[in-house]
Amino acid sequence: MRIAEIFHSIQGEGALVGVPSVFVRTSGCNLRCAWCDTPYTSWRPEGGDWSLERILEAAAVYPARHVVLTGGEPMIARGIVELSRGLRRGGRHLTIETAGTVFEAVECDLMSISPKLANSTPEGEWGERHERLRIQVDTLRRLMAAYEHQLKFVLARPEDADELCRLVRTLDADPARVVLMPEGVETGVLLKRGAWLAEICKREGFRFSPRLHVELYGNRRGT
Ligand code: SF4
């Protein structure tokens, strides 16, 4: 399996924000978000081919009880089902971060599903493919039915709320499981966008999520 990095940090987003966690980041993605904050796993995928044993050993070095399997898109990584099983051993809590376009029968304690809104679609040759793939309603329904989950959305402008509210209604999702985050990798931009985002959360009953890792460490790899 191609691994971009394994590191120990603080969960910066979503329901478990603030929880010390080991991050296992696979490389490779079926989407190409215009604002992707890990282009080294999507636009220009990096990383070596790791065996399952080596990944589990590297993750076990850290004392954290929580593990986050992220990417890229971990659900397209070869051996993801076995890796999910291995990472949960010993009673560790596993979150899987996915865009929700692919279903695999993985094991996890929290399926963190982040469907990509139209603000993610890039210009150029990837645009049409990304646009076609980014929302897979049947797959989203399947993931939501099978796992404890949250639905995490990245908003770049207030108008994005229209698309996300339509999708939440289509999925008949519980607003309490819907988490909104501002798009951006600079604290100033996040604060500015957070102001109108908070109003949408208040109006719709969604949860607001900061991007704590950006505030703590800046937009740096391995954090
Ligand atoms: S789905 Fe995630 S990893 Fe893939 S391009 Fe979008 S932001 Fe990057």
Q: What is the pLDDT of residues 141-152, one digit of tens each?
A: 999 999 999 999
pLDDT of the residue at 211: 84
Is the pLDDT score of 216 beyond 90? no
Distance 205 CA to ligand 1 centre (A): 26
What's the rounded Cα separation, in Å, for the pair 171 and 129? 23
Distance 117 CA to ligand 1 centre (A): 12
Is the pLDDT score of 214 beyond 90? no
Q: Whose CA is nearest to atom 7 of ligand 1?
A: 36
Cβ atoms of 115 and 78 closer than 8 Å: no
Sheet hosting strand 178-182, strand order edge to edge: 48-49, 2-10, 20-26, 66-70, 93-98, 110-113, 149-155, 178-182, 207-208
Q: Which two tokens stand for residue 114?
A: 């982040």
Distance 204 CA to ligand 1 centre (A): 26
- Which of these ranges, 47-51, 58-62, 72-76, 216-220, has the smallest mean pLDDT? 216-220
Q: How far is CA 43 from the centre of its chain?
A: 16
**Ligand 1 atom closest to Cα of residue 72:** 3
Question: Cα dihedral angle (14, 177, 162, 142), rounded to 10 degrees?
Answer: 110
Would you say the CB of residue 114 lies under 6 angstroms from ligand 1?
Answer: no
pLDDT of the residue at 187: 87
